[in-house]
Amino acid sequence: MKKIIILVLFFIASFADTNRTVANSIKEKIDALNTIINASIWNIRYENFIKYQDINDEIVILNLELKKTSDILTQEEIKRKIANLQEQLNLLKEYKDLNFAQILSAPNDVEILSKLTNPLAIIGAFSHIKKLKGEKEESISKINEFRNLVDKIKEKNLKLKELVEFDPSSKNIQALKESDQKLEEFEQVLNFVSVSYSVYEKKIDEEISRVNAEIKIQSLRAINILVAIVLVVAIAFVLKFIARKYIKDNERYYTATKIINFININIILLILLFAYIENISYLVTILGFASAGLAIAMKDMFMSMLGWCVIVFGGSFRVGDRIKVFQNDTTYVGDIIDISFLRITLYEELTLETYTKNRRSGRIIFIPNNYVFTNLLANYTHHGMKTILDGIDINITFDSNIDKAQAIIENIVIHHAKNYTELAKKTMHRLQDEYSIKNPKVEPRFFVFFEHWGMRISAWYMTNSYAALVLRSTISKEIIKEFKKHDDIKIAYPAQNLYVDKMDSNHKFKDFPIKE
């Protein structure tokens, strides 16, 4: 009998040791789970919320006790406790409400991107999609973090139930109740947040799908526009190649390329305009009002643009032409080196105008295109004319051999102007095809006129439009050399006779003419 009792006691002791060992193992696991749970920001917020509620309840109880007691010392002690608790309550005021749902819940509204209307907006669309995906991932991260906390609390509850089975102490039972209450509240929040997130995720997916569809539409439109622009540019290059092949004149080729570039740019602008302006009538109305104001404020600019059209398409002036411009009693003669959309650029050359009036040359002159409507512009080389009629005057005395002098001048002028005369005959036919020139005379012409100090022989001849001074200088030098060979030909020039009186031996004055 004693042996049986000893065995029973031994068995009971062994069972108790086993239970104690299992209970200790469960407590270790619970402590590990508590470490993870207590480190969670959501659990910290929850514990602070519970602490806030406990402090608030304690203040309420103390206020009731303060009303019931009449002892002054007790009242002072209660007031100090209330003041201390109130300070703690102020520190925890942000945890007054358990706003897990508000913090974890996804936004009610998803940012909506306006409709894409041009390829440049694609960049903003990609940024918008990236932002939405980032917000979605952030919401998922917070919910997953909260879900992991709930799983840890569930695991802790299971361990607490096991612990209660081995050690049904009041402490363990109270811990299980508190954990169950926390789990219930957290699961409610998790269910609400999950539903809220599912709605939010659907809105985000719909917005991303819509934006991706519009990106695809704009990308296809941009590709079509790019293909159209490349096609227009390719046609422009082909036209320039054809112009280079069949237009041998550099000036004409330059003008042709300018026209091709102008048309090409305008076609590209029209492609872009009609591709991205949905309400053309609205645009036309706006442009109508805007152009009316601009036409008044920028009259000269618009006139210059119109002048450019007249110059380029009218053919009055081309790059390389030598022209004369009259402005404010000043004359400029030079070669056109560029015709832009707003102005003509002129390189001032050394000409007879420079020699007689300006006394300077080599300047770059900018002429607004609207001058073709308001000022006189003379073209020395219109339609490829390379010659111009120039004249030189020679004065001889009245007693000189006029016929001989005229014959000498005619021989010299005809000889030096021969090549230019032949060239003028050929180019004059081109002008006759376009203009009504009844009697084009390009041969040298000579005239004799009376002047105050002698006879003037005026010689007119064709010369190079770009180098008139060179031939004038050559002819002048040849005429002087030839006149010096003949004593019966004298150059006339303005002169005065000065008479000086001198007294003779009979006290009479004599006249001595002095000629200057």
- pLDDT range class, residue 508, cuts 50, 70, 90: low
Provide the 8-state DSSP code for 441. -
Distance CA 405, CA 157 (A): 137
Dihedrals φ, ψ of 100, to 5°? -60, -45
Beta bridge partners of residue 512, listed in sequence order: 500
Question: Residue 401: is its pLDDT beyond 80?
Answer: yes
Average pLDDT over residues 348-367: 82
Q: State residue 18's pLDDT score.
A: 59
Please state, in angstroms and as integers, the Cα–Cα distance from residue 386 to each residue in 183, 332, 430, following that order: 104, 19, 12
pLDDT in tens, 173-193: 887 787 788 788 878 877 887
Q: Strand (E) positions, 375-453?
A: 377-379, 387-396, 445-451
Q: Is 331 helix (H, G, I), strand (E, B) or coil?
A: strand
Average pLDDT over residues 374-378: 82
What token pair was written down for 448?
């004799």
- Point out the least confidently predicted range of 22-36, 52-66, 224-238: 22-36
- pLDDT range class, residue 20, cuts 50, 70, 90: low
pLDDT exceeding 70 applies to what percent of the chain?
Answer: 84
What is the Cβ-side half-sphere exposure of residue 333, based on CA atoms within 13 angstroms?
Answer: 20
Q: State residue 305's pLDDT score.
A: 79
Provide the 8-state DSSP code for 491. B
- Point out the least confidently predicted range of 58-67, 299-308, 368-377: 299-308
- pLDDT range class, residue 477, cuts 50, 70, 90: very high
Q: Look at the chain and count its residues.
A: 516
Q: Is 31 helix (H, G, I), strand (E, B) or coil?
A: helix
∠ Cα 446 447 451 (to 5°): 145
Domain boundaries, the chain: 26-219, 279-380, 387-516
pLDDT exceeding 90 applies to what percent of the chain?
Answer: 10
Residue with tokens 């007054």: 96
Question: Residue 447: is its pLDDT beyond 90?
Answer: yes
The CA-based dihedral angle spanning residues 147, 150, 154, 160, taken in that order and rounded to the nearest 10 degrees: 150
Distance CA 406, CA 220 (A): 82
Distance CA 461, CA 446 (A): 9
Q: Is 420 exposed, middle or buried (0-12, 13-18, 19+ CB in 10 A)?
A: buried
Q: State residue 446's pLDDT score.
A: 93
Question: Residue 502: is its pLDDT beyond 90?
Answer: no
Provide the 8-state DSSP code for 375. S
Element (H, E) at 308: helix 299-314
Cβ atoms of residues 367 and 328 within 8 Å: no
Q: State residue 105's pLDDT score.
A: 64
Mean pLDDT for the chain? 79
Average pLDDT over residues 69-76: 81
What token pair was written down for 453?
């100090």
The CA-based dihedral angle spanning residues 198, 202, 205, 206, taken in that order and rounded to the nearest 10 degrees: -170
Q: Which of 23-27, 160-164, 373-377 has the highest mean pLDDT?
A: 373-377
∠ Cα 31 33 37 (to 5°): 115
- pLDDT range class, residue 296, cuts 50, 70, 90: low
279-380 has which CATH code? Answer: 2.30.30.60
- pLDDT range class, residue 75, cuts 50, 70, 90: confident
Fold annotation for 387-516: Alpha-Beta Plaits (3.30.70)
Distance CA 485, CA 488 (A): 9
Higher model confidence: residue 279 or residue 230? Answer: 230
- Point out the least confidently predicted range of 156-165, 177-186, 442-451, 504-513: 504-513
Q: Is 413 exposed, middle or buried (0-12, 13-18, 19+ CB in 10 A)?
A: buried
Higher model confidence: residue 312 or residue 489? Answer: 489
Q: State residue 221's pLDDT score.
A: 82
Higher model confidence: residue 104 or residue 157? Answer: 157
Question: Closest by alpha carbon to 158, among 39, 43, 22, 29?
Answer: 29
Beta bridge partners of residue 391, listed in sequence order: 460
| Helix 250-276 / helix 170-246 crossing angle, nearest 10 deg | 150
Distance CA 181, CA 147 (A): 16
- pLDDT range class, residue 448, cuts 50, 70, 90: very high
- pLDDT range class, residue 512, cuts 50, 70, 90: very low
What token pair was written down for 39?
């480190």
